[in-house]
Amino acid sequence: AIDGSNFTISGSAPVTITGASGNCVAGLSDVVILQLNSPIYSSGTFTVRPQLSVNGGAVIDECGQIIQPASVQFSTVDTVNADFSFVNNMGCRKDTLHFNHNGAHAVNKWHWTINNSNYSTASPSIILPASSTNTIRLAVSNGICQDSISQTIVLDNEVIAGFDIPREICPEDRLDIVNTSSGLIDRWNWNFGQLGNSILESPATLTFLQDNRERNHIFNLVVTNTALNCSDTIRKPLRVVNNCFIAVPTAFTPNGDGLNDYLSPNNAIKADHLQFSVYNRWGQLVFESRDWRRTWDGKIGGIPQASGVYVWYLSFTHRDTGEKIFQKGTVTLIR
């Protein structure tokens, strides 16, 4: 019968037969396929037997022959699960991760792929950077059933100090220090030299008074994870210029004495989209720059140029006002 009522099943799981079909060829079949009411997930032994037809008679095959009472036994194994656990012993620069699979359901084969390394034990240990993203894949098998899982583990406990400040700043401008430190940090120690200290994660805004003097400062940050006893330090310089009036000198002396050896727009901190070019008296371009910190040393291709008057052009957009400015003038090269 197609409802499987001609067969019974008994064993370690409460399943029943709900359908039966054959692989009929020319009206005959030598295989009967039985359908169960639910999958079998656990290990066990089962027995399938034919039984009398629903009207109490014998079960007859396609050839008119009575099917003799018999039974078929089969065994199942447990399904497996590749889920794993791990413990992270954190360090300052390296972490040691201890992985574990519980081996349930008779698992006897493990294949770990941890980044580019392979392991075949149930509980491998590996050392990884304390600031890293890692791909962990595990495939397990009990010889019959298998399962696999992939997981991304992000380690972010390495303490790395970092902050952003400009290299130069104009007097009376606000200085906002952007803390870019990363990791598990619970202590910040800022040192601004003569400007003071701070233990805040984001220190207060600083303002520099106009006193017509150039000043140089060193900012220092130490970040710490007290539980791990880990720390990191970073230092950055800051130059406070005496003024931010953008001007090109009228003369320079590239003789290597360390005084006025180079030509560039002075203090062009707030000059955006800057373009500076210098021409000799024959109209030849001798120097061009889009960075005010890049200077001309009075040479072309390493060859010192003659003393004399040179013409310069300067264009930029002022950062504070948005005004587009174009200037030109002359500079005397003195040797």
Q: What is the CATH number of the domain that holds 324?
A: 2.60.40
pLDDT digits (tens, 9 = 90+) for 162-193: 999 999 999 999 999 999 999 999 999 999 99
Both 192 and 141 in a single domain?
A: no
In a domain, 2, yes or no: no
pLDDT of residue 25: 74
Both 206 and 262 in a single domain?
A: no
Both 152 and 178 in a single domain?
A: no
Distance between CA 137 and CA 119 in Å, rounded?
10
Phi, psi of 195, rounded to the nearest 5 degrees:
-85, -5
Residue 56 predicted with pLDDT over 60: no
Q: Which of 205, 240, 275 is the last residue of a domain?
A: 240
Both 171 and 143 in a single domain?
A: no
Q: Which residues contact 142 (CB under 8 A, 6 or more apart)?
A: 77, 78, 80, 105, 106, 107, 108, 109
Residue 309 predicted with pLDDT over 90: yes
In a domain, 245, yes or no: no
Which range marks the domain in which residue 133 is found?
A: 85-156
pLDDT of residue 54: 56
Residue 85 predicted with pLDDT over 60: yes
pLDDT of residue 267: 92
Residue 263 predicted with pLDDT over 60: yes
pLDDT digits (tens, 9 = 90+) for 97-111: 999 999 999 999 999
Band of pLDDT at residue 62, cut at 50, 70 and 90: low
Both 226 and 273 in a single domain?
A: no
Both 60 and 117 in a single domain?
A: no
Q: Which of 215, 240, 265 is the last residue of a domain?
A: 240
Q: Which of 120, 138, 156 is the last residue of a domain?
A: 156
Both 219 and 148 in a single domain?
A: no
Distance between CA 94 and CA 88 in Å, rounded?
10
Burial class (CB in 10 A: 0-12, 13-18, 19+), 162: middle
Number of domain units in the chain: 4
In a domain, 1, yes or no: no
Q: What is the mean pLDDT of the chain?
A: 92
Both 190 and 206 in a single domain?
A: yes
Band of pLDDT at residue 58, cut at 50, 70 and 90: low
pLDDT of residue 178: 98
The CATH code of the domain that includes 122 is: 2.60.40.10
Record the pTM.
Answer: 0.69
Residue 273 structure tokens: 């989209």
Both 311 and 265 in a single domain?
A: yes
In a domain, 23, yes or no: yes
Both 130 and 191 in a single domain?
A: no
